[in-house]
Amino acid sequence: MKIQIWSKALLKSYSNLSRLANNIDGRVFTLAHSMSNARYGNTTEIVADKILKYVDKKVTLCKTKVLIEDILMKLNDKYATVLKMRFVDNKSYEEIANYFGVCVRTIRRYLAEAIKHFSFNLKVKSYTPETLSKMYEDEKWMGNLYLSNLKNYLKSKNMQEYEKFMREHFHNGKIIDFQEIYSYELS
């Protein structure tokens, strides 16, 4: 089940990857420009270190985009279209059902199957919940997407489990530790 939660998080991230990459480019440009400006008080070494961290983040974004696109290309057209419409284009079940000329219940079934196939392809590429947790351990944005999907899953299965999870992993509405969330055992 964790791999399916990761699959949804990855798919939800797709439409924002280019925007995030552009933001990183802007920050890198600003940092590089600040090296010549003494008022920031940053040494070249400090600025270079910050730039390298941003470059690492951009590499992660690029890997994510390539991974998602590669898997979507491997899926049959129906599943790829359903996933794109739901997660990338943020279409409602009704809009997707109208596009395919089927009922909403059928779309829910298509979507469940498409996520299973996406998850299977993640596994084939040797991406496990553990490797994905490691890959995104410093990426709060992905942690938030994963967390959102995990909370939705727990809510749909058992309200007591969801409430227990919230008590254990949140303090005053703030997440305690994403690594704990990633390693949370699903029943």
Instruction: Give residue-wise pLDDT tens across range 87-103.
Output: 999 999 999 999 999 99
The candidate with the shortest Cα–Cα distance to 1, out of 168, 149, 143, 179, is 149
Residue 44: its H or E element:
helix 44-74
**CB neighbours (10 Å) of residue 1?**
12
What's the gap between Cα 149 and its chain centre?
Answer: 10
Q: Which two tokens stand for residue 111?
A: 């979507």
This prediction's pTM:
0.82
Q: Of the candidates 104, 120, 140, which has an alpha carbon nearest to the alpha carbon of residue 13?
A: 140
Contacts of residue 110, defined as CB under 8 A and 6 or more positions apart, other chains included, come to: 78, 79, 82, 100
Highest mean pLDDT among 75-89, 149-163, 168-182: 75-89
Could you read off the pLDDT of 17-54 as tens digits, one per residue?
988 889 989 888 888 777 766 555 567 778 888 889 98
Q: Are 5 and 133 in contact (CB under 8 A)?
A: no
pLDDT of 62: 94
Tens digit of each residue's pLDDT (9 = 90 or more) over 54-91: 899 999 999 999 999 999 999 999 999 999 999 999 99
Summarize the confidence of residues 147-174 as an average pLDDT.
75
- DSSP structural state of residue 176: S
HSE value, Cβ hemisphere, 13 Å, CA-based, for 183: 6
Give the SS3 label for residue 57: helix
The mean pLDDT of the chain is: 86
Question: ∠ CA(156), CA(160), CA(165), 5° rounding?
Answer: 85
